[in-house]
């Protein structure tokens, strides 16, 4: 989830919507057995992002040359927010990864208005930019998985940088 989706975001969008996360242990600043005494929390539970990620580090301003461009993020519940417009919520391009040599896996849909795209696994930054340019009217790219989605940056220097 971390590195593959961060690299995808760096190549295709400045933001990503984090997935919902399920926890078995409550996070607290003092040691405990995972479930706080007296709470009625059922386990597993949908947990806040800061139970799993160090949000302060994710928001830290880092050197662009060493770490690449900053990548913003939204919580999994972003699309449930009533302030998010219907236009944004319904402007979703569903991206499914496929083997480049399989039938229909060209990185191009029959028409950009279909709302569905088969994208070859391990697509490079240039391929992502070229492919998604045809779908620039979509507000949200929803990947079936980030695993094996990103094949690297075009700039060799960027490939060596730590991104998330």
Measured distance CA(70)–CA(9) in Å, rounded: 10
**Dist. CA 35–CA 27, nearest whole Å:** 9
35: helix, strand or coil: coil
Q: What pLDDT, on the 0 to 100 scale, is given for residue 83?
A: 95
What span, in angstroms and rounded, lies between the C-alpha atoms of 50 and 27?
9
What pLDDT does residue 164 have? 39
Burial class (CB within 10 angstroms; exposed 0-12, middle 13-18, buried 19+) of 56: exposed
59 phi and psi angles, rounded to 5 deg:
-95, -5
Alpha carbons 146 and 70: distance in angstroms, whole number: 18
Q: What is the pLDDT of residues 114-145, one digit of tens each?
A: 788 888 998 888 888 888 888 888 888 888 88
pLDDT for res 82: 94
The pLDDT score that the predictor gives to residue 160 is: 46
State whether the Cα torsion 43-48-50-52 is positive or negative: positive
Whole-structure pTM value: 0.66
Q: Using 70 as the pLDDT threshold, list the residues of the chain that sit under it.
A: 1-14, 26-36, 68-69, 107-112, 155-164
pLDDT of res. 18: 83
List, for residues 16-32, the tens digit of each pLDDT value.
788 888 887 766 666 66
Angle between helices 2-12 and 125-133 (to 10 degrees): 60
Q: What is the pLDDT at residue 143?
A: 84
């Amino acid at each position: 989830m971390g590195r593959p989706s961060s690299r995808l975001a760096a190549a295709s969008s400045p933001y990503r919507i984090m997935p919902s996360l399920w926890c078995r242990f409550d996070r607290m600043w003092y040691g405990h057995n995972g479930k706080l005494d007296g709470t009625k929390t059922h386990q597993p539970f949908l947990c806040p992002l800061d139970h799993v990620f160090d949000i302060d580090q994710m928001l830290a301003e880092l050197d662009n040359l060493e770490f690449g461009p900053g990548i913003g993020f939204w919580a999994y519940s972003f699309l449930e927010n009533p302030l998010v417009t219907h236009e944004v919520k319904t402007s979703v391009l569903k991206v499914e990864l496929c083997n480049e040599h399989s039938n229909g896996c060209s990185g191009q849909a029959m028409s950009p208005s279909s709302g569905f795209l088969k994208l070859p696994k391990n697509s490079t930054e240039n391929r992502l930019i070229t492919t998604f340019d045809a779908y620039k009217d979509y507000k949200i790219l929803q990947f079936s998985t980030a695993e094996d989605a990103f094949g690297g940056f075009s700039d060799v220097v960027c490939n060596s940088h730590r991104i998330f």
